[in-house]
Structure 1
Amino acid sequence: MRTEGHLRKAISQPLFRRLLAVRLTSQASDGLFQASLALSVFFNPDIQADPLSYAVAFTILVGPYSLLGPYVGVVLDRFSRRNLTIAANLTRAALTLMVVMVLPIGFEWFWVVCAMGVLALNRFVLAGLTAAQPHVVAEPELVTANSAASTLGAVAFGLGIASAGAAQLFHSGLSYAFLAFLAAIGYAVSAAVASRSFRPAALGPEGGERPSSGIWQGVRDTTRGLIEGLRYLRHAAKPGWVMVLQGVHRMLYGIVFIVAIVLFFGFFHNPNLHPNGEDSLRWLLILAVLGNLGVALAALTTPRATRWFGPRQWVLGLALTCSIMAAALAGTMLPAMFAIAVIFINIASQGIKITVDTSIQTEVADSYRGRVFSLNDTIYNVGYLGGLFLGALFVPGDGYTPRTLAGVALAYLITVVGYGYASRNAPPYDTHHEHHSKAL
Structure 2
Amino acid sequence: MALIRDLRSLLKLRDFRRLFATRLTSQLSDGAFQVAIAGQAFFSPEKQTSAADIAAAFAVLLLPYSLVGPFTGVLLDRWRRRQVLVLCNLLRAVLVALTAGLVLLGVPDPVFYAAALVVLSVNRFVLAGLSASLPRVVPAERLVTANSVSPTAGTVAAAVGGGAAVLVHTFLAEGSGATALVIVVSGLLYLGSAAVAATMPSDLLGPDPDRVLPDVRRALRSVARGLREGAVHVWRRRAPAHALAAITAMRFCYGVLTVMTVLLCRNTFNDPGDTDGGLATFGITVSVSALGFFVAAVITPGVTARIGVPAWIGACALAGAVCQAALGLPFLFAPMVAGAFLLGVTSQGAKIGVDTIVQTTVDDAYRGRVFSVYDVLFNVAFVGAAAVAALGLPDDGRSPAVLLGVAGVYALTGVLYGLASRRHPPVIIEGSPTGNGRP
Q: Find 1:279's aligned residue among 274, 277, 280.
A: 277
Indicate the residue corresponding to 2:11 in structure 1. 11
Q: Do the aligned partners of 1:9 and 1:141 also contact (CA within 8 Å) in 2? A: no
**Quick one: percent identity of the two aligned structures?**
37
Rounded to whole Å, the distance in 2 between the matches of 1:328 and 1:433 is 46
Rounded to whole Å, the distance in 1 between the matches of 2:25 and 2:427 is 30
Rounded to whole Å, the distance in 1 between the matches of 2:249 and 2:124 is 20
Q: Find 2:287's aligned residue among 280, 286, 289.
A: 289
Q: Do the aligned partners of 2:313 and 2:354 also contact (CA within 8 Å) in 1? A: no
Cα offsets for 1:190-215 (capped at 9, x unmatched): 111111x21211110011223x4621
Instruction: Quote the offset at 1:401 in angstroms.
Output: 0.4
Indicate the residue corresponding to 1:349 in structure 2. 347
Cα offsets for 1:111-153 (capped at 9, x unmatched): 3322211110111111111111111111111111111110010
Residue 20 (1) aligns with residue 20 (2) = yes
Indicate the residue corresponding to 2:182 in structure 1. 179
Indicate the residue corresponding to 2:162 in structure 1. 161
Instruction: Quote the offset at 1:106 in angstroms.
Output: 1.8
Rounded to whole Å, the distance in 2 between the matches of 1:107 and 1:150 is 35
Counterpart amino acid of residue 265 in structure 1:
R
Residues 1-400 of structure 1: matches in 2 within 5 Å?
Answer: 7-108=7-108, 109-172=110-173, 175-195=178-198, 197-210=199-212, 212=213, 214-271=215-272, 275-400=273-398
Indicate the residue corresponding to 1:404 in structure 2. 402
Instruction: Quote the offset at 1:36 in angstroms.
Output: 1.3
Instruction: Quote the offset at 1:171 in angstroms.
Output: 4.3
Rounded to whole Å, the distance in 2 between the matches of 1:45 and 1:335 is 22
Instruction: Quote the offset at 1:344 in angstroms.
Output: 1.0
- Aligned residue for 1:424, secondary structure, equals helix
Rounded to whole Å, the distance in 1 between the matches of 2:207 and 2:95 is 28
Counterpart amino acid of residue 24 in structure 2:
L
Q: Do the aligned partners of 1:262 and 1:398 also contact (CA within 8 Å) in 2? A: yes
Rounded to whole Å, the distance in 2 between the matches of 1:428 and 1:405 is 32
Rounded to whole Å, the distance in 1 between the matches of 2:291 and 2:328 is 23
- Aligned residue for 1:243, secondary structure, equals helix
Instruction: Quote the offset at 1:331 in angstroms.
Output: 3.2
If the length of structure 1 is used for normalisation, what is the TM-score? Answer: 0.92
- Aligned residue for 1:198, secondary structure, equals coil
Rounded to whole Å, the distance in 1 between the matches of 2:429 and 2:325 is 32
Counterpart amino acid of residue 114 in structure 2:
V
Structure 1 residues 5 and 171, CA gap change in structure 2 (3 angstroms): closer
Instruction: Quote the offset at 1:172 in angstroms.
Output: 4.1
Rounded to whole Å, the distance in 2 between the matches of 1:119 and 1:384 is 15
Rounded to whole Å, the distance in 1 between the matches of 2:49 and 2:65 is 24
Rounded to whole Å, the distance in 2 between the matches of 1:270 and 1:178 is 26
Structure 1 residues 433 and 367, CA gap change in structure 2 (3 angstroms): closer
Counterpart amino acid of residue 112 in structure 1:
Y
Structure 1 residues 32 and 150, CA gap change in structure 2 (3 angstroms): same
- Aligned residue for 1:170, secondary structure, equals helix
If the length of structure 2 is used for normalisation, what is the TM-score? Answer: 0.92
Structure 1 residues 386 and 425, CA gap change in structure 2 (3 angstroms): same
> Where do 5+ consecutive residues of structure 1 fail to align?
none
Rounded to whole Å, the distance in 2 between the matches of 1:31 and 1:302 is 24
| 172-181 or 124-133, larger mean C-alpha shift | 172-181
Rounded to whole Å, the distance in 1 between the matches of 2:19 and 2:64 is 25
Rounded to whole Å, the distance in 2 between the matches of 1:269 and 1:130 is 38
Structure 1 residues 76 and 432, CA gap change in structure 2 (3 angstroms): closer
Rounded to whole Å, the distance in 1 between the matches of 2:63 and 2:166 is 23
- Aligned residue for 1:423, secondary structure, equals helix
Instruction: Quote the offset at 1:234 in angstroms.
Output: 1.4
| 147-156 or 352-361, larger mean C-alpha shift | 352-361
| 59-68 or 253-262, larger mean C-alpha shift | 59-68
Q: Do the aligned partners of 1:27 and 1:153 also contact (CA within 8 Å) in 2? A: yes
| 411-420 or 145-154, larger mean C-alpha shift | 411-420
Instruction: Quote the offset at 1:4 in angstroms.
Output: 7.5
Structure 1 residues 100 and 407, CA gap change in structure 2 (3 angstroms): same
Structure 1 residues 3 and 86, CA gap change in structure 2 (3 angstroms): closer
Q: Do the aligned partners of 1:3 and 1:304 also contact (CA within 8 Å) in 2? A: no
- Aligned residue for 2:127, secondary structure, equals helix
| 304-313 or 425-434, larger mean C-alpha shift | 425-434
Rounded to whole Å, the distance in 2 between the matches of 1:429 and 1:329 is 37
- Aligned residue for 1:45, secondary structure, equals coil
Rounded to whole Å, the distance in 1 between the matches of 2:161 and 2:354 is 25
Q: Do the aligned partners of 2:43 and 2:276 also contact (CA within 8 Å) in 1? A: no
Rounded to whole Å, the distance in 2 between the matches of 1:364 and 1:347 is 26
| 36-45 or 372-381, larger mean C-alpha shift | 36-45
Cα offsets for 1:238-286 (capped at 9, x unmatched): 1110110000000111111111111221233235xxx423432232122
Rounded to whole Å, the distance in 1 between the matches of 2:137 and 2:407 is 39
> Where do 5+ consecutive residues of structure 2 fail to align?
none
Rounded to whole Å, the distance in 1 between the matches of 2:113 and 2:257 is 26
Rounded to whole Å, the distance in 1 between the matches of 2:430 and 2:346 is 23
